[in-house]
Amino acid sequence: MQQRIDKQLVRERFSKALGSYREHAVVQQEMALVLADMICSAVPLRSFGKVFEVGAGTGSLTAAILDRCSVETYIANDLVAESRSHIVLEVSLRSPASFAFLSGDIETLEELPGQLDLVASNATLQWFSDLDGFFRKMACCLKPGGIFAFSTFSSGNMREIAAIEQTGLSYPDLSFLESLACRYFEKITSKEEHIRIAFDSPGEVLRHIRKTGVNGVVRRAWTKGRYQQFLHRYLEAYSCENGVYLTYRPVYGCFRKPLL
């Protein structure tokens, strides 16, 4: 499964949202906690020599892993170079033995860390153009027996926006993600969730999306007419007792690289 992603636009939108992301990305933060707990269940000793986090953002998963696990070397990557200061803050409060930050698009970076004990990624895979290529690359970076754990979003995620705007990311089903991962790894566990968040108005939905940076799909100006039409259609189709709702479909997977 491949899709065309404007990585420059993604970088711009997330860079603008860095200061507001932690306040507004409540689903992604909860996903980080769930993923970290899933990793701990897979490795009861909770001890890793070398950890690589892909798409570290503002450090939600960084903090969750370091709060739960003993880590010798923590390496974080993000498309947005400015993320480094956020990650450094989280790391400084928890102090693994060593830390490094690798800036850039993980799909095109050529020099990646090897001999990894854990690769983890929270709410990032939906922005990748070639998931199979990414899974294969991470399998090469991991030690035999190493853990590959991720969370992302499944089909139906933000379906309200997609229905009105006729634009959006192509979200894969969990079964598809599992089939890709199982080309290179052995499945430990997986699960999916269905979350609805209520907002006071459709305008607040748009603000939420902008403040979390997840509007990095297409470059399209919001004219007054388009904005008013969006408000009307959203209110008409997706009203609830507390205003209007937006649907998230998180999925999680935890896999192990075969020993042989």
SS (HEC) of 32-90: HHHHHHHHHHHCCCCEEEEEEEECCCCCHHHHHHHHHCEEEEEEEEECCCCHHHHHHHH
**β-strand partners of 248:** 195
Residue 22 forms part of a structural domain: yes
Domain count, the chain: 1
pLDDT recorded at residue 217: 61
pLDDT recorded at residue 219: 66
Residues with Cβ within 8 Å of 39's Cβ and at least 6 positions away in sequence, in order, are 65, 68, 69, 118, 120, 147, 149, 254
Residue 50 forms part of a structural domain: yes
What's the token pair of residue 97? 């033995």
pLDDT recorded at residue 3: 63
In which domain, by residue range, is 16 found? 7-256
Output the pTM of the full model.
0.94
pLDDT in tens, 213-257: 776 466 677 789 999 999 999 999 999 999 999 999 999 999 999
Residue 66 forms part of a structural domain: yes
CATH number at residue 160: 3.40.50.150
Query: Closest Cα partner for 32 from 74, 56, 69, 60?
Result: 60
Q: Which residues of the chain have pLDDT under 70?
A: 1-3, 215-219
Residue 2 forms part of a structural domain: no
Other Cβ atoms within 10 Å of 205 Cβ, number? 24
